[in-house]
Structure 1
Amino acid sequence: MRMKHNGRLKVKFDFSFFAVVAFMIFIDTSGAAVLSLIACILHEGGHLLAMAVCGANPERITFYGGGIALSKSGMESLTDAKRLVILSAGCSVNLLVAAACFAMQGNGTAAVFGAVNLIICIFNALPIGYFDGAEVLELLLTGFVSLRTAEKVKKIVGTVLALIITAGVIVYCVMCGESVSLSLFFVVLFLIQAQLVS
Structure 2
Amino acid sequence: MWLWDRGTLQISGGFWLLTAWFVLANGVDLLAVVLAAAGTHELGHYLALRACGAGISRVRISVFGAVMETAGGPLSYRRELVTVLAGPAANLLCALAMVVAGGERWSIPVGANLVLCSFNLLPIRPLDGGRTLELLVSWAAGPAAGEWAARCVGGCTALALAAGIVFLMHCSGGSLWLLPAVIGLLGTAAGEIVGNSDFLGA
SS in 2 for 1:12: strand
In structure 2, the CA distance between the partners of 1:21 and 1:173, relative to structure 1 (3 Å rule), is: closer
1:88 aligned residue: 85
Identify which of 96, 99, 107 aligns with 1:99: 96
Identify which of 164, 174, 185 aligns with 2:179: 185
1:116-138, Cα deviation, whole Å (9 max, x unpaired)? 11111111111112111111111
In structure 2, the CA distance between the partners of 1:167 and 1:17, relative to structure 1 (3 Å rule), is: closer
1:120 aligned residue: 116
Q: Aligned AA for 2:117?
A: C
Q: Is residue 31 of structure 1 aligned with residue 29 of structure 2? A: yes
What is the deviation of 1:96?
Answer: 1.1
Pairing of 1:52-91 with structure 2 (within 5 A): 52-74=50-72, 76=74, 78-91=75-88
SS in 2 for 1:137: helix
SS in 2 for 1:83: helix
Give the distance between the partners of 1:92 and 1:79, measured in 2 at CA: 20
CA RMSD of aligned residues (A): 2.5
Give the count of matched residue pairs. Answer: 189
SS in 2 for 1:71: strand
SS in 1 for 2:135: helix
In structure 2, the CA distance between the partners of 1:149 and 1:180, relative to structure 1 (3 Å rule), is: farther
Give the distance between the partners of 2:169 and 2:26, measured in 1 at CA: 22
- % identical equivalent positions: 28
Structure 2: which 5+ residue stretches go unaligned? 192-196, 198-202
RCO higher in structure (CA 8 A, sep ≥6): 2
In structure 2, the CA distance between the partners of 1:161 and 1:21, relative to structure 1 (3 Å rule), is: closer
What is the deviation of 1:145?
Answer: 1.4
Give the distance between the partners of 1:195 and 1:170, measured in 2 at CA: 15
TM-score for both structures, normalised by structure 2: 0.79
1:147 aligned residue: 143
SS in 2 for 1:133: helix
SS in 2 for 1:69: strand
